[in-house]
Amino acid sequence: MKAITYTQYGSPDVLHLEEVAKPAPRENEVLVKVYAVSVNAADLHLLRADPFLIRLSSGLMKPKNQILGSDIAGRVEAVGSNVKQFKQGDEVFGDISACGWGGFAEYACVSENALALKPANLTFEEAAAVPMAAVTALQGIRYAGQIRPGQKVLINGASGGVGTFALQLAKLSGAEVTAVCSTRNLDMARSIGADHVIDYTKEDFTRTGQKYDLILAANGDRSISDYRRALNPRGIYVQTGGSMTQMSQAMLQGPWISMTGSQKMGNMGVAKPNQNDLVILKELLEAGKIKPVIDRTYPLSEVAEAIRYLEEGHARGKVVITVAQNN
């Protein structure tokens, strides 16, 4: 089968399209013919081994798993002897990062618990845009953020993969939602439910005097003191992405602030893959209550270009790779 591989850390230049052995499912695994896979910031961090601590789990000198890609959508081609949830021919989607990655390939073997049935109303490309970003948004808004109807919620980085889902989920929860994004994305943010939009190139949301009950930072490069200034006295700040400075402050200072004051602040990071959350999202997608936003699609041979585009930091929604045509 064809796959995008890498045997050393570095820029997208170290990625190569190669022929590799087609995997065979073990007793608890499903073999999926991959039709589409989306690109995530996590792929970029693993590719570059940045931050350096990633090497402790992904390989100190070179990558253990040589095929990146976590968010797949495809069709079940074979199942292991102990698989109970799926059968040959089922259309599925899921985040396979806990299974050793491997999505940038024509086939992937994964645990059945990493998958759910694909929403019937979505294409494979649309379904591949969902898992990691939408589960991160769901866990950030509902669980870490403890969102309630009527709250004032701000999403920083509202036009990215996580941000577009977080905006929709917050609105669906009955919140009054403010989206922070660039000029070119203001109309898109309004179109998926934002009550208010702030163009960060023209206005500083931390200095408007407006206070929020929940702030989710899906992107950005602001200090934790900036976020505190925009947060209600008993508000919650959830950090899921952004610069290393923003993430490290949330990790190091957030717990102390949370213990010593009434505001709750912390770093959630990327979601933990969860089949139950994936099923919740499937139902919301099929009901038309949320939808993926896709910026660009690329063929499998152009994964390096797709990652370069994502690295520029201006993707609107998700970047998706089409691996096979659904004939």
Q: What is the pLDDT of residues 242-296, one digit of tens each?
A: 777 777 888 888 888 888 889 998 887 767 899 999 999 999 999 999 999 999 9
* Angstrom distances, CA of residue 208 to CA of 121, 221, 238: 41, 18, 20
Q: What are the DSSP calls for 9-52, one per residue?
A: -SSGGG-EEEE-PPP---TTEEEEEEEEEEE-HHHHHHHHT-SG
Q: What are the DSSP calls for 217-259, one per residue?
A: ESS----HHHHHHTEEEEEEEEE-SS-HHHHHHHHHTHHHHHH
Q: State which fold the 133-267 domain adopts.
A: Rossmann fold (3.40.50)
Structure tokens at 85: 């949830």
Domain residue ranges of the chain, discontinuous segments joined by +:
2-130+292-322, 133-267
The pLDDT confidence band at residue 327, using thresholds 50, 70 and 90, is low
Q: How many CA atoms lie within 13 A of 80 on its CB side?
A: 15
CATH number of the domain located at residue range(s) 2-130+292-322 in this protein: 3.90.180.10
d(CA 227, CA 239): 10
The string of pLDDT tens digits covering residues 59-93 is 889 999 999 999 999 999 999 999 999 999 999 99
- Phi, psi values for residue 38, rounded to 5°: -100, 160
**284 burial type by CB count under 10 A (0-12 exposed, 13-18 middle, 19+ buried):** buried
* Strand bridging mode 231-239 / 176-181: unpaired
Average pLDDT of the chain is 94
The string of pLDDT tens digits covering residues 161-198 is 999 999 999 999 999 999 999 999 999 999 999 999 99
- Phi, psi values for residue 110, rounded to 5°: -140, 160
Whether 2-130+292-322 and 133-267 share one fold: the answer is: no
d(CA 282, CA 109): 21
The pLDDT confidence band at residue 18, using thresholds 50, 70 and 90, is very high
With H, G, I as helix, E, B as strand and everything else as coil, classify residue 68: coil
- Above 70 in pLDDT, residue 54? yes
Helix (H) / strand (E) element for 282: namely helix 275-286
With a pLDDT cut of 90, the percent of the chain lying above it is 83
Q: Specify the pTM.
A: 0.94
Neighbouring CB atoms inside 10 A of 286's CB total 14
- Above 80 in pLDDT, residue 326? no
The string of pLDDT tens digits covering residues 209-227 is 999 999 999 987 888 889 9
The pLDDT confidence band at residue 52, using thresholds 50, 70 and 90, is confident
Residue 150's Cα: distance from chain center in Å?
Answer: 26
pLDDT in the model for residue 255: 83
